[in-house]
Structure 1
Amino acid sequence: MNVTRRRIWGWMLYDWAQQPYATLGLTFIFGPYFAAVAAGYFEAQGLTSAEADAGAQSLWSSAQTIAGLFIALTAPFLGALADASGRKMRWIIGFSVLAMLCIAGTWMLEPDGTSLYLVTFLFWIGFVASESAFNLNNAILPSLGPAGRVGRISGGAAAFGYWGGVLALVITLLFFAENASGTTLIGLAPPFGLDPAAREGTRFTGPFIAIWFAIFLIPYLLWVREVPPKETPPPLGAVWGDLKATLRRTVRRRSLRNFLLASMFYRDGLAALYAYGGFYATLVLDWEITQVGIFGIISAVAAAILTWVGGRFDERIGPKPVIALCCVVLAVVSTIIIGISPADLYGLPFPEGSAMADYIFYFCGVLIGGAGGTLYSASRSLMVRHADPERPAEAFGLFALSGRATAFLAPLLIALATVITGDNQLGFFPVILLLLLGLLLLVFVNKDGDRAEWSASSSPSA
């Protein structure tokens, strides 16, 4: 394997290493476990079952809101600082280690709600660190190949990451995450003396994610190298001044401005689908952890396959039409999710004893995984078409800002809608609005980017 291919594979391995934080932690194992534990904890405090479910969802969404705001406010400056110093790797390593330590600490969440608030804090601090490292890693993408191949590389990396999530999820379901009877998906007791009564198999998910992250970070560190900076890094004040100038230029760049606004909304809606999919299945369809895990496997396999396909379409027709199609698919899926219950779909009853609701939700998982993975990959590709080749980390800091600037909005709207209506399903309605708003703004984005426009706006006469 030559140096260039090794560097590409090393970069792609970061997606593989980091993906279980989202797949196992955020969505399919720890998230649903947290939902069940938090709901039980609040019910033990005297709330009704419906109030306890809403309280669990509100706690999760409030923490996600704060985490999203912190990422949004820090990402552009971190990107500018990394560009100026020429040292992205040290930031990536530092944030990755912090994420590992925090996710390992989620082991402390016991079934009776012991350490509920501490673990909430640890999970979302780790999430901030993981996303910060991921954003900086994205900034390496423009240097991996010519512009025409960036979409294919991005799609391949995202698909590769999803396969990592699938493998990690399968291992967890087969050997660790226990159901109500205390056994895993294949009927085994959790290994290493883990106590199923204390849900230690499921709680081991946090340390497992940390171990996975550490192991697969090694080839990334060996194969991905940076070119040392040629000049002494500028002082922080100069970095901040350059960033403010970039933000002012961004406002004048019509295509980039509209792309960042569009992605701000549709990625917020996508993040909500990821964050609440397992929650929703647990609280509305009354699924056990193992059922949510199967849902996760189906979603992740679909994501791995369809994201790879999406990368090929991105290379052939460009990222913009791919993004538009994904937004439409996700809006349709969200509409289905709002109207489904174990007994009916928008009032149309299922046959008594039917598993139709489960099958429909599994199909929704296929579409969420495939469209969601493709949406992020194509968005990353379209950002490259708008990025200054000399300042990629700063550009992807803005990309992270657009993805997180309103990250508080979906959780906040979901929390408010849930509290106002007292219904977990109606609380999900704002997701549809966010996806459609992003789709509308995408109309005003140049499918080829605006690097020429950037060059003109940053020239001495501009």
Structure 2
Amino acid sequence: MAAPSKRGAASREPSERTGKRALLSWALFDWATQPFYTLVVTFLFAPYFVNGFMADPAQGSSLWAYATGIAELIAAGLAPVLGAIADAGHPRKPWIAGFSVLLVVGLSGLWLAVPGQIELMPVVLLAFGLATIGAELATVFTNAMMPSLVSNHRLGTLSGFGWALGYVGGLVSLALIASLVVADPSTGKTLLGLHPIVPLDPATREGDRLVGPFSAVWYLVFVLPLFLFTPDRPSKPLERRAVTASLTQLARSVRDLVHHHGQVALFLVARMLYADGLGAVFAFGGIYAATVFGWGAAELGLFGIILTIAGTFGAALGGLFDDRSGSKAVIVWTLCLFIAAALGVLSVDRDHVLFMLPVDAKVPGSAPFSSTGEQVYLAFAILIG
């Protein structure tokens, strides 16, 4: 989930009377978008694309990585310009609506990933790219709404509330679809050992493919309160002069940061690299597990639920240490832990852990996480989460 940023000042002072319904409706945007990141990017659709839709998992991993990288680069390139537009006094909701269309269309297109129909691969990757760009750039404009909703001293509270709500939304959506919708192709049963609540064909992996349309419907339902109840700026023409002034100010701020605040610039670069690295580990954790251990939807769903719960406790624990030891100490220690855990994850394969220690390989048909390799992988993944 993209963490809300605290970008530029709004054209009007935030009203202290902004109602709770308006703030909750704003925070529901994170709840609405999180299934895209949890179900599609991380735990269910991405592993299916690599190991189910594509005949060659290695090629599938490469194509998925390229699609992710290109989409993220496009979003990163457009974000500063769109951020300037968001800060220039124009209403944000029309932009959110436009990028929401990209997100919904892209998610719906993932249904086309029928096993064996490799000719649809470019269409599926394009759909994923559109969804990624739509989600990232819609977030630019919802973030820009924050200063007009609450005063500066409440920005952190609102941001944290949205982040937490998104985390819970990801967990709820993952639990629902893994327990009631996505079935193991070999058994036709879900994580709870039930038949899917909707008639789906496991042979054509309809459960895995339904993740995209499910996330689209989830988004449409839960983003609606933002448009209905959260106040926006009054409608007025978008002035080129205002956008140019915002972009000029952005360029001036970057130059000032580089020339006069080198330590801050270095921190921001390090933060970017750390966040991108963490995102890559999360994005390919499910793909790696599905490739190495042959995990299906049931194991991946359970894996995702465990990591999400562990991450919730980890965030709370990190907050306690932050209050006691300070942010820098927490960042340093968590980075060290992350690097060690990431190396640990890479050290696990079918019959080895820590690169060289032999272990028994997973027995086909055995219970989830029953092999030593799976257990070690899960332990390292929990540390990362």
Question: Is TM > 0.5 for Structure 1 vs Structure 2?
Answer: yes
Q: How does 1:22-41 map to 2 (within 5 A)?
A: 22-40=37-55
Which of residues 133, 140, 152 in structure 2 aligns to 1:135?
140
Query: What is the rounded CA distance, in whole Å, between the counterparts of 1:200 and 1:210 in structure 2?
Result: 16
Q: Match for 2:356 among 340, 347, 350? A: 347
Q: Provide structure 1 residue ranges, at least 5 long, that are not aligned to the other structure.
A: 41-51, 370-462
Deviation by residue 1:290-345 (Cα, 9 ceiling, x = unmatched): 11111111111222343345456556766444433332222111110111123221
Alignment match, 2:215: 209
In the TM superposition, what is the alpha-carbon distance from 1:352 to its structure 2 partner? 6.6
| Counterpart code for 2:134 | A
Deviation per residue, 1:357-406 (Å, 9 max, x gap): 2122222332333xxxxxxxxxxxxxxxxxxxxxxxxxxxxxxxxxxxxx
Cα offsets for 1:395-431 (capped at 9, x unmatched) = xxxxxxxxxxxxxxxxxxxxxxxxxxxxxxxxxxxxx
Name the CA distance, whole Å, in 1 between partners of 2:105 and 2:350.
38
Q: Which residue of 1 aligns with 2:165?
A: 160
Alignment of 1:243 onto 2:253: no
Hey, what's the Cα distance between the residues in 1 that align with 2:211 and 2:361?
36
Give the count of matched residue pairs: 357
Equivalent-residue separation in structure 1 for 2:267 and 2:221 (angstroms) = 36
- Counterpart of 2:377 (choices 344, 361, 368) is 361
The letter for the 2-side match of 1:289 is A
Match of 1:82 in 2: 86
The corresponding residue for 2:7 is none
Correspondence for 1:418: none
Which whole-Å CA distance do the structure 2 matches of 1:75 and 1:234 have between them? 17
User: What is the deviation of 1:283?
Assistant: 1.1
- In 2, the alpha carbon distance for the partners of 1:313 and 1:143 equals 32
- Of 351-360 and 6-15, deviating more is 351-360
User: Paired residue for 2:365?
Assistant: none
Percent of paired sites with the same residue: 36
Q: What CA distance in whole angstroms lies between the structure 2 residues aligned with 1:103 and 1:82?
A: 25
For residue 54 of structure 1, the aligned residue among 42, 55, 58 is: 58
- Quote the Cα distance in structure 2 between the aligned partners of 1:230 and 1:242: 22
Q: Secondary structure at the match of 1:342?
A: coil
Cα contact 2:182–2:297 (8 A) shared by 1: yes
Give structure 2 stretches of 5+ with no counterpart. 1-16, 363-369
Q: Give 1:228 deviation, angstroms.
A: 3.2
The one of 108, 111, 125 equivalent to 1:104 is 108
Question: Alpha-carbon deviations, 1:159-178, whole Å to 9, x = none?
Answer: 22111111101111112111
Alignment match, 2:202: 196
Give, as a single letter, the amino acid of the residue that structure 2 aligns with 1:350: V
Give the 3 Å change call, closer, same or farther, for CA 226–313 of structure 1 in structure 2. farther
Confirm or deny: 8 A CA contact 1:151 1:314 kept in the other structure. no
* Residue pairs, 1:57-456, within 5 angstroms: 57-114=61-118, 115-142=120-147, 145=150, 150-181=155-186, 182-228=188-234, 233-235=239-241, 236-252=243-259, 253-311=261-319, 319-345=327-353, 346-350=355-359, 355-369=371-385
Alignment RMSD, CA only?
2.6
| Worse-matched range after superposition: 316-325 or 68-77 | 316-325
Q: Report if the CA contact (8 A) 1:84-1:239 is conserved.
A: yes
Q: Are the counterparts in 2 of residues 148 and 315 from structure 1 also a CA contact under 8 Å?
A: no
Code of the aligned partner of 1:13: L
C-alpha distance 327-296 of structure 1, shift in aligned 2 (>3 A): same
* Native 8 Å contact 1:87 1:228 kept in 2: yes
With normalisation by structure 1, the TM-score equals: 0.71
Supply the AA of the counterpart residue of 1:249. D
- The TM-score, its normalising length taken from structure 2, stands at 0.84
Higher relative contact order (CA 8 A, sep 6+): 1
